[in-house]
Amino acid sequence: MKKKQPPEHKGLLKKTEVPHRPLVFSFKYFDASDAEICPTTFRENYTQALMQRLRDISSWTAQEFVTKPHKSIRNHSHDWPKTTRPKGFVNLNEQLQSCVGWQFQISSNKHGRVHGIIIDNVFYVIWLDHNHQLYS
pLDDT digits (tens, 9 = 90+) for 103-134: 999 987 678 899 999 999 999 999 999 888 99
Could you read off the pLDDT of 82-94 as tens digits, one per residue?
A: 999 999 999 999 9
The DSSP bridge pattern shows strands 122-129 and 24-26 to be parallel
pLDDT at 7: 44
Residue 9 pLDDT more than 50?
no
Beta strands in the chain (DSSP E): 24-26, 76-77, 101-105, 113-119, 122-129
pLDDT at 56: 94
pLDDT at 6: 43
pTM, entire model: 0.83
Residue 23 pLDDT more than 80?
yes
Q: Are 120 and 16 in contact (CB under 8 A)?
A: yes
